[in-house]
Amino acid sequence: MRFDAVTLFPEMFDAILDHGITRRALDRGLYRFKSWNPRDFTDDPHRTVDDRPYGGGPGMLMQAEPLDRALNAVQQDLASEGLTPWVVHFSPRGRPLTHQRVMALKDAALNQNQALVLLCGRYEGIDERLLQRRVDEEISLGDFVLSGGELPALALMDALIRQLPGALNDADSAVEDSFANGLLDCPHYTRPEVWQGEAVPDVLKSGNHAAIVQWRLQQSLAITAAHRPDLLAMRGLSKQEQDLLAAHPGAAQKKAVQGQ
């Protein structure tokens, strides 16, 4: 898989390239990364990439021409490898990023020779004409504003890279992540067996694999119902899952409170 970032701050991507799982995946050749600075595609001595917005208002806007030239260079470089660019712009008006969209982007990269081009805006934004002409998709991390597109780009890269075959030492880790099956993850415990008077649940020490699987599913259902009931509504529950959720101690407590 290949990532190309159009950014004024390429050094920010060292957080992905130099650390942890994403560094190991890079060393294993599972993905490649290249950055493109719009300042390298300007003509003036000051390498200007921004200007005041028409109509007035605070701040500056990124100009269309340097970004357009940078994207042309990316496209040409990708074409030499037989890759097709998919340009993603990070914006509050974009669709919220989901696990399902991450998986779709991964599949397109692995099966359709698609390279992900991450267009990272700065200042007050980017000239709308450039966005309309060159962007394939807009993505949002949530209903809040960041100083630029680099942090969302890093988040998307991390989410994608961990899904690449061979990125994780244990492939089951990705399968059991939150959202992978439409639910939030269950609680996890490690040594010591008792910490500050609280013990690890007995079922996890029982060695009964089937009981552990059922307990973890029940916990995931209960946590999702408590924190993200919208996920349950979208996913739907089987009869077994409905019974497990109804049998969770938290569900009984909730009914007792509602009945008071």
Has this prediction a pTM greater than 0.75? Answer: yes
User: What span, in angstroms and rounded, lies between the C-alpha atoms of 19 and 21?
Assistant: 7
pLDDT of residue 260: 41
For residue 252, is pLDDT > 60? no
User: What span, in angstroms and rounded, lies between the C-alpha atoms of 16 and 18?
Assistant: 6
User: What span, in angstroms and rounded, lies between the C-alpha atoms of 127 and 62?
Assistant: 6
Q: Which of 88, 119, 120 is nearest to 101 (CA)?
A: 88
Domains annotated for the chain, with CATH where assigned, are 2-161 (3.40.1280.10), 194-259 (1.10.1270.20)
From residue 219, how far is each of 3, 126, 173, 222, 251 by CA, in Å? 37, 44, 17, 5, 11
Pairing assessment for the beta strands 198-199 and 194-195 based on DSSP bridges: antiparallel
First CA to last CA distance, the chain: 56
pLDDT of residue 259: 47
pLDDT of residue 179: 72
pLDDT mean over 192-199: 94
Is the model more confident about 116 or about 252? Answer: 116
User: What span, in angstroms and rounded, lies between the C-alpha atoms of 24 and 30?
Assistant: 9
Q: Active-site residues: which are they?
A: 92, 124, 162, 177
- Mean pLDDT for the chain overall: 92
Tell me the pLDDT tens digit for each residue of 135-154.
Answer: 999 999 999 999 999 999 99
pLDDT of residue 55: 95
For 30-88, the three-class secondary structure string (H helix, E strand, C coil) is CCEEEEECHHHHCCCCCCCCEECCCCCCCCCEECHHHHHHHHHHHHHHHHCCCCEEEEE
Is the model more confident about 63 or about 252? Answer: 63
